[in-house]
C-alpha cells in the first residue's frame, strides 16, 4: 500500500495495481526514496518505469523458471561440482597413462612466452579457437607458482574450467532438444543420461571436443525451433573450432526449400566463419591455410582405411617446433595408397542420394535424425578417428533411440574406446589384431546406429524387431570377443613385459633351473611381487622374513643392522628343506634379511651356485636327504 500511494499521483490506478501486485517489485518504493525530492518523484518515476517493468518481468520469469525447473537446477549443480572436483583429483587416463591433450595445449601457452602465437607465427592441426583458448588459459595461470616444477596442474584447472562452461551448455542443450522432441520428462531424462555417461566426462577431462559439440548442438537446437539463420551462423562459427558443427548445414539446407534462401544460409555460415578467420587471413594467411591443408592431407589412423593401409598407430602431424614452416603441414606418417578421390566420390554420391530423399527436415525429430546420420557417415568416411570423436555420436543416440538401446550401444562404444586408448597404446601396441578388431567393431556399430536413423527418416523399412536383435547381437558379440581376446592379449603382454624387465636375466635363469621340485625364496616383498607373474607357472615361490635371535633384536622388535647371529632354523625353512630338493635364494646384495636367510639355508643344505646379476644375489642350495 505504501508503494501504491507513492506511485498513484504519477500513474493511473490500474497501471499501479498491475505492477504493485507483483510482489517482487515492492522495492520500487525504496528506489523512489533515494531520488532527489526537489526534482520530484514523478520525474524519476516516468524516466525509470520502463526499466523497472523490464527488471520486474525478468526477475519474475527467473523465479518462475527456478520453481518449475528444480530438478534441472539440481542436475546442473551436481554436474558442475562433480566435474570440478574430478578436475582437481583425477588422472586423465587413470593409471595407464597420466597425460592428455591438455599437455599439448600447454605448449601453445609456452610458445606465447616466446612471443609466438597460433595462426600468426605457426600453424596448428586445429582451427584458431581452441589454440587461442589454450593461450588464454595459460595467461590466466601465469602469475601462479608452478607445482612440482610444472604448470600443468594449474593449466588443467584453468583450461578445464573454460571448457566446462561449454559442457554445461551441452547439458542444457540436451535438455532443450529432448524437451522439444519428446516433452519435459524426456528432456530431463536425456539431460541426466548425458550427465551420467562416462564418454562426455572422459572427453572433457582429456580433450577439448566439448567446445565443437556445443556449437553443433546449438545449431541443431536453432534448427529445431525454425531459426535457420541463427543455426547457419552458429554452424559457421563452430567450423572455426572443428569441422563437426558444420555437419548441421545439410539438414539446414534440406529444411529450407527455397534455393535463394539456401544460398543465403550458406552465405551466413561463410560470413560467420570469416568473422573469426579474417584477422588471421589478414595477418598471416599462410598459417591458417596450412592448418586446413594439414586436416585434409594427413595419413589415415585408427580407421578401417588405416587397417587396409597396414598402419596400426595413432594420428601424427609435424612436431610443433617445426610448424613455423607452413610446408610441414603436408607431413605424412606414411604414404597412403588408397584411391581417396574415388572413395570421396562414392561417399558423396551416397550422401547426395540420401539428401534428395523425401522427408521433412523442418520436423525436429527428422532434422536431428538426418544430422545424426550425417555425423555417422562422416565418421565412417573420415581418414582418421580419435577417441574423443565418440562424443559426437552420444547426443543423437540419446535423443533418438529407445533408452536401453541407446545406453547399450554407447556403453559398448565406450568400452571399445577405452580398449583402443589408452589400453591398446599402453598394453597391447604390438598386438595389431586387437586394434583391427576394435576398429571394425566400432564401424559396424556406427552402421547399425545409422540404420536406426535411416528408419526414422523413412529411408528404410521399420523392422523394429530386427533392429532390437541387431543391438543385442552387437553387444553380446563384443562381450564374447572381449572375454576371449583379453586374457590372450594379457598373456602376450606379460611375455613382452619380460623383455623390458630389468631383472630379465635372473628370471630366465630361474625359469631354466628352478622346476617343480625346487622352491625360490625371497626376502623382499617388492622383488617377490615383481617376479611372481613370470615364474609362478614354472616353480614355487615363497616370501620369508627370518626371525631374529632375541639377544640381537632391538627393543622395538626391529632389525639390528649390526647383528650377525640368527636363531635356530625356523619351521618354514625346515619344511622347505624337507619338501624340495633344491632351494634358490634371491635378494638384493645389501638386503640384511637376505643375508640372514642365507645363513639359515646354509644350516639346512649345501651351496652349489652363487652368482650376482646386477644388484641381485642368486644362490642355489641342495638340501640334505
Question: pLDDT by residue (tens digit) across 330-352?
Answer: 999 999 999 999 999 999 999 99
Report the predicted TM-score, pTM, of the whole model to 2 decimal places.
0.86
Cell numbers placing 234: 552458429
Q: Which helix (H) or strand (E) holds 149?
A: none
- Residue 521's beta-bridge partner residues? 542, 585
> Any idea what DSSP says for residue 14?
H
The SS3 assignment for 147 reads strand
User: How many whole angstroms separate alpha carbon 611 and alpha carbon 593?
Assistant: 18
Q: How far is CA 579 from the centre of its chain?
A: 54
Rounded distance, CA 593 to CA 281, Å? 71
Residue 547, C-alpha cell as written in the block: 626371525
Cell representation of residue 623: 638340501
**Per-residue H/E/C for 428-478:** CCCCHHHHHHHHHHHHHHHHHHHHHHHHHCCCCCCCHHHHHHHHHHHHHHH
Distance, CA of 205 to chain centre: 6
**Rounded Cα gap, residues 394 and 412, in angstroms:** 12
Radius of gyration of the chain (CA): 34
Low-confidence ranges of the chain (pLDDT < 70): 1-49, 62, 64-68, 546-571, 624-625
Cα(285)–Cα(296) distance, integer angstroms = 17
Strands (DSSP E) found in 69-198? none
Kindly list the distances between the CA atom of residue 501 and the CA atoms of 34, 429, 489, 493, 527, in Å, as whole numbers in the listed order.
80, 17, 18, 12, 12
The Cα 353–Cα 348 span in angstroms is 9
Cβ-in-10-Å burial (0-12, 13-18, 19+) of 164 comes to: middle
Identify the CA nearest to 582 among candidates 616, 608, 558.
608
Could you tell me which residues come within 8 angstroms of residue 10 by beta carbon, excluding any fewer than 6 positions away?
41, 42, 45, 46
Check residue 385 and give left, alpha or beta (phi > 0: left; psi -120 to 50: alpha). beta
> What does residue 548 show for φ and ψ, rounded to 5 degrees?
-100, 150
Number of Cβ within a 10 Å radius of residue 96: 13
Q: How far apart are CA 228 and CA 399, in angstroms?
A: 20
Summarised one tens digit per residue, pLDDT across range 208-238 is 999 999 999 999 999 999 999 999 999 999 9
Q: What is the pLDDT of residue 41?
A: 52
Q: How is the chain split into domains, by residue range? A: 2-68, 73-488, 504-623
Q: In this structure, what C-alpha cell is assigned to residue 116? A: 609466438
Q: How far is CA 591 from the centre of its chain?
A: 45
The counts of H helices and E strands in the chain are: 27, 5
Length of the chain: 625
Amino acid at each position: 500500500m505504501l508503494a501504491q500511494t507513492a506511485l498513484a499521483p504519477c500513474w493511473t490506478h490500474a497501471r499501479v495495481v498491475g505492477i504493485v501486485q507483483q510482489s517482487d517489485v515492492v522495492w520500487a518504493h525504496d528506489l523512489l526514496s533515494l531520488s532527489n525530492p526537489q526534482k520530484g518523484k514523478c520525474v524519476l518515476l516516468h524516466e525509470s518505469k520502463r526499466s523497472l517493468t523490464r527488471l520486474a518481468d525478468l526477475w519474475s520469469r527467473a523465479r518462475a523458471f527456478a520453481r518449475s525447473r528444480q530438478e534441472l537446477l539440481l542436475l546442473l549443480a551436481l554436474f558442475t561440482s562433480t566435474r570440478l572436483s574430478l578436475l582437481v583429483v583425477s588422472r586423465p587416463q587413470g593409471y595407464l597413462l597420466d597425460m592428455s591433450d591438455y599437455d599439448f595445449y600447454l605448449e601453445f601457452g609456452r610458445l606465447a612466452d616466446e612471443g609466438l602465437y597460433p595462426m600468426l607465427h605457426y600453424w596448428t592441426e586445429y582451427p584458431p579457437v581452441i589454440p587461442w583458448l589454450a593461450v588464454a588459459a595459460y595467461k590466466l595461470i601465469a602469475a601462479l607458482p608452478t607445482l612440482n616444477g610444472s604448470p600443468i596442474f594449474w593449466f588443467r584447472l584453468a583450461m578445464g574450467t573454460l571448457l566446462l562452461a561449454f559442457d554445461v551448455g551441452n547439458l542444457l542443450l540436451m535438455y532443450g532438444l529432448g524437451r522439444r522432441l519428446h516433452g519435459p520428462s524426456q528432456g530431463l531424462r536425456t539431460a541426466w543420461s548425458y550427465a551420467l555417461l562416462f564418454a562426455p566426462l572422459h572427453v572433457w577431462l582429456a580433450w577439448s571436443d566439448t567446445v565443437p559439440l556445443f556449437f553443433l548442438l546449438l545449431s541443431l537446437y536453432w534448427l529445431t525451433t525454425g531459426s535457420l539463420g541463427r543455426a547457419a551462423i552458429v554452424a559457421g562459427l563452430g567450423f572455426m573450432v572443428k569441422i563437426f558443427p558444420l555437419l548441421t548445414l545439410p539438414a539446414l539446407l534440406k529444411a529450407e526449400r527455397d534455393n535463394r534462401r539456401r544460398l543465403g544460409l550458406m552465405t551466413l555460415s561463410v560470413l560467420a566463419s570469416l568473422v573469426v578467420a579474417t584477422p588471421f587471413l589478414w595477418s598471416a594467411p599462410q598459417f591458417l591455410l596450412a592448418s586446413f591443408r594439414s586436416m585434409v592431407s594427413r595419413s589415415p589412423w585408427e580407421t578401417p582405411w588405416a587397417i587396409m593401409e597396414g598402419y596400426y598407430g595413432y594420428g601424427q602431424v609435424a612436431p610443433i617446433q617445426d610448424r613455423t614452416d607452413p610446408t610441414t603441414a603436408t607431413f605424412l606418417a606414411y604414404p597412403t595408397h588408397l584411391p581417396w578421390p574415388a572413395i570421396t566420390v562414392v561417399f558423396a554420391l551416397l550422401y547426395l542420394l540420401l539428401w534428395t530423399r523425401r522427408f521433412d527436415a523442418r520436423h525436429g525429430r527428422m532434422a536431428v535424425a538426418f544430422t545424426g546420420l550425417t555425423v555417422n557417415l562422416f565418421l565412417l568416411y573420415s581418414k582418421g578417428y580419435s577417441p574423443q570423436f565418440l562424443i559426437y555420436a552420444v547426443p543423437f543416440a540419446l535423443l533418438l533411440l529407445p533408452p536401453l538401446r541407446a545406453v547399450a550401444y554407447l556403453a559398448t562404444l565406450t568400452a571399445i574406446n577405452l580398449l583402443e586408448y589408452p589400453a591398446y597404446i599402453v598394453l597391447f601396441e604390438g598386438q595389431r589384431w586387437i586394434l583391427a578388431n576394435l576398429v571394425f567393431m566400432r564401424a559396424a556399430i556406427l552402421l547399425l546406429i545409422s540404420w536406426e536413423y535411416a528408419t526414422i527418416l523413412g529411408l528404410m523399412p521399420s523392422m523394429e524387431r530386427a533392429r532390437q536383435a541387431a543391438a543385442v547381437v552387437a553387444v553380446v558379440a563384443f562381450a564374447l570377443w572381449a572375454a576371449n581376446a583379453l586374457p590372450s592379449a594379457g598373456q602376450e603382454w606379460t611375455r613382452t613385459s619380460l623383455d623390458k624387465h630389468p631383472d630379465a636375466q635372473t628370471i630366465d635363469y630361474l625359469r631354466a633351473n628352478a622346476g617343480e621340485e625346487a622352491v625360490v625364496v625371497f626376502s623382499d616383498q617388492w622383488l617377490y611381487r615383481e617376479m611372481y607373474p613370470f615364474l609362478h607357472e614354472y616353480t614355487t615361490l615363497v616370501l620369508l622374513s627370518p626371525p631374529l635371535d632375541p639377544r640381537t633384536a632391538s627393543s622395538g622388535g626391529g632389525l639390528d643392522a649390526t647383528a650377525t647371529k640368527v636363531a635356530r632354523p625356523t619351521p618354514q625353512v625346515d619344511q622347505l628343506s624337507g619338501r624340495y630338493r633344491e632351494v634358490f635364494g634371491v635378494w638384493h646384495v645389501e638386503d640384511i634379511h637376505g643375508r640372514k636367510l642365507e645363513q639359515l639355508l646354509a644350516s639346512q643344505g649345501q651351496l652349489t651356485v652363487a652368482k650376482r646379476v646386477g644388484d641381485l644375489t642368486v644362490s642355489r642350495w641342495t638340501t640334505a636327504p
